[in-house]
Amino acid sequence: MRPLSAAFLLCTASACLAGPVVESGSVGLWGQPRSYAAYDTLLDPGPGILGTTDGRARDFAFHNGRLYCGGNIDLIDAGPWYYVPGPAGSLLSPITQDVSTAPPLPLNDPRRWVKSSTLAINTSGAGLGAFAGPDPRQVVLTPPQGASTPTYSAVLTPGATLTVATPSPVPAAVLTPLSLEYVPLLDRFAAVRNNSDNPAGPSVVQFFPHTAGGLSTSDASFSLPSVPGVKGLSVISPEFASILTGSQVTEPALLLLARNDVGMLQYPDLLVVSYTGAILAQSALALPGTNNPDPAVSNPFALAVDEANGTIFVSDRATARIYSIDTPSVPSAPVSALVALAALTLPARRRR
């Protein structure tokens, strides 16, 4: 466990002396106290992160020490931003990514309404969003713009500014996906399907093969009938899952952030789930104020994990906060030991 940084010590639960840290404290996870700090992203000094929409992180992608944040805003207005949290999990210094809009995009160009509301980073070196070097391309899914339009995937390429490739429609796609993550051992993108037509219904995670041209038809999925309200999604190793939960986890897993937004006050949960949908461990995440089901008051949404430094990141879109939660750290897992598990963990393919 890392020591509390100076940023953690600037604030009490009710007041902050300076900077965007607005709260700090301790929260229980699987019976263990974990220190946390809450950062107000709307107070970030960086340009382009001051609006009421683009500063409210809707999805995360963690790669190479950077926490990439996507908001629910068109890329022609603002791109994803990122932090370099380091061992202390600090989110004090945002780095913006401007998007190239020169020449101006035609009105009928689908790139005009591409959003970074869901984003992921393909680390395989092949397929959709493949890249080489320290600055990754970012894959985003754009929600439908109406009943007659599909979900699109698009790739953002870094440079002096981000450039946006022409979006590609996703066959039989999720509608308004809530989170997107690349799963290396499966070479699939995983997406949480929005269940807005039945908020109390089961949560569904779908897996998508991919090519350089875009996502292919989903070939596997799982449903969690007893867990409504999953929004955040992150890939974790069995080593991290084991030390986080205090129980032995022997297979690669997903960490999910869920909250039942229907009914009584309820804190969000973190769940460790296998690639086939088996719930391996579950714990309440009782961050102060996150138990109000009104999304205008509290709306826990994005989730990411930095295993090397021992940090879980959670956003709350209603309060424009990102929580940095201290956890035990693990060294990089040996790839050879995990690849052998990949064939055992892909959910059963559906017949078409």
The pLDDT, as a whole number, for residue 150 is 77
Mean pLDDT of 190-201: 79
Domain assignment present for residue 317? The answer is yes
Asked if residue 132 belongs to a domain, the reply is yes
> Does 196 map to a domain?
yes
Residue type, 131: F
The answer as to whether 253 is a domain residue is yes
Provide the number of structural domains found in the chain. 1
Residue 351 lies in a domain: no
Banded pLDDT at 24 (limits 50, 70, 90): very high
Query: What is the pLDDT at residue 74?
Result: 74
Tell me what the mean pLDDT of segment 295-299 comes to.
Answer: 86
Grade residue 250 by pLDDT with cuts at 50, 70 and 90.
very high
Looking at residue 332, which CATH number applies to its domain? 2.115.10
Q: Which two tokens stand for residue 259?
A: 């909250």
* Angle made by CA atoms 291, 117, 323, in degrees to the nearest 5: 40
Q: How does residue 5 score in pLDDT terms, banded at 50, 70 and 90?
A: very low
pLDDT of residue 17: 28
For the ranges 207-211, 227-231, 239-243, which has the lowest average pLDDT? 227-231
Model confidence, pTM: 0.86
Rounded CA separation 168/214 (Å) = 6
> Which of residues 3 and 248 earns the better pLDDT score?
248
Higher pLDDT, 141 or 144: 141
285 vs 261: CA distance, rounded Å: 15
Q: How confident is the model at residue 43 (pLDDT cuts 50, 70, 90)?
A: low
Rounded average pLDDT over 213-233: 93
Note whether residue 1 is domain-resident: no
Most confident of 44-53, 73-82, 138-147, 208-217: 208-217
Structure confidence at residue 38 (pLDDT): 95
In a domain, 241, yes or no: yes
∠324-325-327 over CA atoms, to 5°?
135
Structure tokens, 220:
């596997």
What is the reported pLDDT for 123?
Answer: 97
Q: Which residues of 252-273 are buried (b: 16+ CB within 10 A; e: fewer)?
A: bbbbbbbbbbeeeebbbbbbbb
Q: Which domain holds residue 243?
A: 6-345
Query: Is position 350 within any domain?
Result: no
